């Protein structure tokens, strides 16, 4: 089985009148799966199309470096 890793995704949501930066941490097996999860979440919660989500960086982080308390608890730290 694949090992679950923690990824930090940074980027910008581009709407007609504004640009909103975001940082999200999530658990996933690959960076590609994490990117798909970001697109799905923003599409369902904010009604933003994929072309309006600009990804700046995707990095794998250690469980000790996690800021989000939900992800931290799920990782067992």
Model confidence pLDDT, tens digit, residues 29-52? 999 999 999 999 999 998 999 999
Structure token pair of residue 45: 């919660």
Burial state string for 11-35 with b = 16 or more CB within 10 A and e = fewer than 16: beeeeeeeeeeeebbbbbeeeeebb
pLDDT at residue 1 in the model: 59
Average pLDDT, the chain: 93
Cβ atoms 9, 26 nearer than 8 A: yes
- The mean pLDDT value for 7-23 works out to 94
Please tell me the pTM assigned to this model: 0.89
Whether 15 shows a pLDDT value over 90: the answer reads no
pLDDT bracket for residue 14 (50, 70, 90): very high
Domain at 5-75, CATH from 3.40.630.30, 2.60.40.2140, 3.40.50.10240, 3.10.20.10: 3.10.20.10
Three-state DSSP at 72 gives: helix
Strands 53-61 and 18-28, by their bridges, are unpaired
């Amino acid at each position: 089985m694949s090992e679950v890793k923690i990824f930090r995704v940074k980027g910008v949501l581009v709407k007609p009148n504004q640009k909103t930066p975001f940082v999200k941490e999530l658990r996933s097996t690959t960076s590609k799966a994490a990117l798909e999860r970001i697109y799905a979440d923003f599409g369902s919660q904010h009604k933003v199309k994929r072309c309006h989500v600009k990804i700046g960086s995707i990095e794998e982080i250690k469980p000790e470096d996690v800021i989000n308390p939900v992800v931290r608890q799920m990782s067992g730290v």
